[in-house]
Amino acid sequence: MVYFTYYICGSYDRNKLLQKEAKVSILDGIIFENEKQKTVIGISGRVDSNNAHEIEEEIMNGITGREYLPVIIDAENLNYISSAGLRVLLHLKKTVYDLTITNVSNDVYEIFDMTGFTQMMTIEKAYKVVSVEGCEEIGRGANGTIYRIDQDNVVKVYNNPDALDEIQHEREVARTALVLGIPTAISYDVVKVGDSYGSVFELLNARSFSKILAAQPEKMDWCVREYVKMLKKIHGTIVPAGQLPDIKETVVSWARFMQDYLPKEAGDKLLALVEAVPQDNHMIHGDYHTKNLELQDDEVLLIDMDTLAVGNPVFELASMYNAYVGYYECDHEAIKAFQGFDYETAQVFWHKSLAAYLGTNDPSRIEEVENKARIIGYTRLIRRSIRRGGLEDEGKKAEIEHWTKELTELLEETDTLTFLRNELVIDAEPENLKQVQDFIDEHLDAAGCAPKERMQIQIAAEEIFVNIASYAYAPAKGKATVCVEVSNNPLVITLTFIDNGFPFNPILRENPDISATAAERDIGGLGIFMTKKFMDDIYYEFKDGKNILRLKKDLE
C-alpha cells in the first residue's frame, strides 16, 4: 500500500491520510494533494518481487515534476522488504533531491543496516511511545523535563517537538564527558512522548540531591561536600579543542543584547568585562544544581548534559547563583516548586558550596566572587525575561527592574570578572598538610598526572608548606594560600604558595653538599634542594607584604 501527501514543513495527520487513502483504489491506494514543500510517501505491508515494479512505477509517477522536494518514506507499517524493494528505494535515492526513511521497525532496520543502506541515506528507527502521565517529575530545565517512568528508568522529555538533533547532541557530549572521567548516565533509547521526543536513562533507585536536602536536612554538609567535589572534577577537566561549545560566545551575545536595556556606560562596561574573560578549555556543566546530581547506590552521577561546554568557572557560578538565589529574589516561594526545598535552605546551600569551592570561609573573599557571578547571572535573567515578554507583565517588569538595579550597582564597583581559582586558604599549621596534599591531588587526578611526577610535585608541596607553617610567622600564627593551575599545550602544573610572613626567598638558599659524608653533612636544607630538582621552574617575589612562590612542573 502506498499513499502520498505534499505538505508545508510540520507534522501531518496520519489518520486523515488513511481515511482519504481508503477512498481510492489505484494499485493498493494513492493520494495526491496540492504541491507544497515536502513529499511524504507511506508504504505498508510487503515490498517484494511480486509488487516492486508496480510500486516503483507508482512512486515515480507520483513525484514526477517534484524531484526537487525532500521525500520522506513513512515505513511505520512496512513489515517486509526484499532486495527487489531495496532496488526501488535505491532508484528513488538517485532520483530525488533528499530522501529520508522514518519509523522503521527493528526487523526491517536490520535489513537496511546489513545491506549498507543506513550508510547511503538517512534511515530512522520507529520510536517506542511512552506516556509520562502520573509520573514523578524529578527535574526541570530550560530544554526539558525529567520524569521517573519506573523504578529503574527516567526519561527526559524535550520542550522542542523537533528535538532529535538536540537529543543526538546531548548523547554525544555525555559520551565526551564520560570518556573524560565525569560519571554520568548515557541515554540508551529515544522514545516518542506526546508531540515530542525523550531520552531514556537507567537510574536505578536514584535520588536527586534536591530530594535528599528536602527530606534529610541533616545531610546538608554531606551534600555540599559531594556537590563541590563533583564541581571541582568538572572544572578540573581539560576538553580537547572543538569537542564542546565555548560558553563565552553565548555570554557575549547576552551582554550585547543588554546594550539596549542598560545605561550606555553600564552596557559598555558589561560587554567589556565579558569580552575580557580569558578563553578557557576546562569543562563546565552550564546548569549545575542539585536536581542534576543523582545518588545511585553510593555513586554520584551528573545528568542533564545538554548544556555542557567549556569556559571560565565564573559562568558556571552565575548559573548556580540563579538556581538557588537569583530566580527567587522577588518570589521566595517559587523555589519550592522547582528545587523542592525552601529559599532559606537554598541560600545556605549556595553559600556553603561557594565557600567550599573557593577553599575559604573569608566573607569578603566569598562576597567578591559571588558578586562577579551575580553580574553574569542578572544579565541572563534580564535577557531571558525580556525575551519572554517580561516588560509587558507588571510582576515580571518589577523583577527586571530589581535585577537591573542590582546589576548596575555591581558594574560600578567591579573591574574584572575573573578570580584566582583553584585556591585553598588555610591556617599555616603543620597538621593541615594532609588537607593541602588532598587539595593538590584533586587537580593532579584531573590532569592525569603520572605516579612519578605526582610524587615529585607532592614532595615539593610538602617541603614548601611545612616551611611556611614552621617559620613564616614564628612565633605567631598566620594563613597560607595554595593555588593550583593546570594549563594545556603543553600540559603544565603550577603551584603558587602565598603567605604574609617574614620575607624569605628559598631559591637563594645554598644547596647542600650531597657528596659529603654523613659526618660532614648538615642537617636540613634537603627539602628546598629537592624542590629545585623536581620542579622545572621556580619563581619568587615579595610583593605587597606577601611572599609569593610559584613552582612549575612540565607533564609533557
Residue by residue, DSSP assigns 474-536 as: TTS--EEEEEEEEETTTTEEEEEEEE-SS---GGGSPPP-TTS-TTTPPSS-HHHHHHHHH-S
258 Cβ contact list (under 8 Å, min separation 6): 267, 270, 271, 379, 382, 383
pLDDT at 432: 92
Reported as a pLDDT band with limits 50, 70 and 90, residue 10 is very low
Give the containing element (helix H, strand E) for 81: strand 78-81
Q: Are residues 286 and 366 in the same domain?
A: yes
141: CATH = 3.30.200.20
Domain contains 509 = yes
Reported as a pLDDT band with limits 50, 70 and 90, residue 44 is confident
Residue 81 to residues 54, 133, 324, Cα–Cα distance (Å): 14, 36, 55
Mean pLDDT value across residues 344-356:
95
Domain contains 224 = yes
Q: Are residues 357 and 505 in the same domain?
A: no
Domain contains 476 = yes
**Strand 128-129 to strand 189-193: parallel, antiparallel, or no bridges (unpaired)?**
parallel
Q: Are residues 157 and 237 in the same domain?
A: no
pLDDT tens for each residue of 188-207: 888 889 888 999 988 877 88
**What share of the chain in percent tops pLDDT 90?**
54
Domain contains 515 = yes
Q: Are residues 150 and 111 in the same domain?
A: no
CA separation for the pair 341, 319 (Å, rounded): 18
Q: Are residues 187 and 244 in the same domain?
A: no
Residue in 465, 397, 387 with CA at minimum distance from that of residue 142 = 387
119 Cβ contact list (under 8 Å, min separation 6): none
Residue in 85, 84, 9, 99 with CA at minimum distance from that of residue 43 = 85
Q: Are residues 64 and 146 in the same domain?
A: no
Q: Are residues 180 and 239 in the same domain?
A: no
pLDDT at 62: 83
Q: When comparing pLDDT for 143 and 88, which is higher?
A: 88
Domain contains 131 = no
Q: Are residues 43 and 142 in the same domain?
A: no
Domain contains 209 = no
Q: Are residues 432 and 510 in the same domain?
A: yes
Q: Are residues 441 and 493 in the same domain?
A: yes
436: CATH = 3.30.565.10
107: CATH = 3.30.750.24
344: CATH = 3.90.1200.10
CA separation for the pair 32, 46 (Å, rounded): 22
Domain count, the chain: 4
CA separation for the pair 18, 3 (Å, rounded): 8
Q: Are residues 164 and 296 in the same domain?
A: no
Q: What is the CA radius of gyration of the chain?
A: 31
Domain contains 212 = no
Domain span including residue 79: 2-126
Asked whether residue 314 carries a pLDDT value surpassing 60, the answer given is: yes
pTM: 0.66
Q: What is the mean pLDDT of the chain?
A: 86
Identify the DSSP state of 246. B
pLDDT at 521: 47
Q: Are residues 167 and 197 in the same domain?
A: yes
Domain contains 197 = yes
Grid coordinates belonging to 324: 538557588
Task: Report the amino acid identity of residue 259.
Answer: Q
1 Cβ contact list (under 8 Å, min separation 6): 21, 28, 29, 42, 43, 44, 45, 77
Mean pLDDT value across residues 347-370:
89
